[in-house]
Amino acid sequence: MTDKLFLFDFDGVIVDSLAFYRESSGRCFAGMGITDFEDEEAFLDLFDDNFYVALAKRDIDIEEFRQVAGRVGPTVDDRIIVPFPGVPPVLEQLSADHPLLVVSSNSGKTIGKILSRSGCDHYFETVLGSDFLFSKSDKIAHAMEEWKGDRDRTFFIGDTVGDMREAQEAGVRTVAVTWGWHSRERLARVAPDYLIDDPVELCYI
């Protein structure tokens, strides 16, 4: 059994990508004739759940969205996506003693590309993206099985209410970060085990 297992959401935790996904998702929705999420708060509301669950609840065809996203994604410059300041040194420190994985609703290919470009790919054992499973709860369960993680010593680090809810469903320790997509106040409402404002705090949980 591993000492601690750290499972990182990608967007809003490792990298600053909100502007990119506001634009790219906006183009996808526009291409599907959907105008419900032009307002930023309406867009962020999608992440009170698993993103794909939120789409399904609104009767949006997930496969159609993924197909449109596959066409739209390459037209938006993803070089604006960079790690948050202070995150890479923390990843380096944690990875020296513990296994780190990415658990995300983003595609594994996209995550791998950005991690490699930013020099952070070697900190992670693997990436569990949307091409593996849609549900983060299921991905967390898979990670614990493969890496022999104990629920009380498995930490899921996320930045949205949906992240926290899925990690709580999986029964692991929840770490909400305030530098991502959802505000501290919004995250506090779902009572994560940890609510942190600086990446270095991850080294002390």
pLDDT, one tens digit per residue, over 115-142 is 999 999 999 999 999 889 889 999 999 9
The mean pLDDT of the chain is 95
What is the per-residue pLDDT for 78? 87
Position 145 pLDDT exceeds 90:
yes
Query: What is the mean predicted confidence (pLDDT) over 6-29?
Result: 95
Beta strands in 11-99 (DSSP E): 15-16, 82-83
pTM score above 0.75: yes
Strand partners, 7: 101, 156
The answer to whether 8 touches 2, Cβ cutoff 8 Å, is no
As a whole number of angstroms, the distance between CA 74 and CA 145 comes to 35
DSSP line for 114-147:
HHHHTT-GGG-SEEE-TTT-S-HHHHHHHHHHHT
The answer to whether 124 touches 102, Cβ cutoff 8 Å, is yes
**Distances in whole angstroms, Cα of residue 75 to Cα of each of 27, 90, 131:** 10, 32, 21
Position 98 pLDDT exceeds 80:
yes
Q: How confident is the model at residue 168 (pLDDT cuts 50, 70, 90)?
A: very high
pLDDT, one tens digit per residue, over 41-92 is 999 999 999 998 999 999 999 999 989 988 988 888 889 999 999 999 999 9
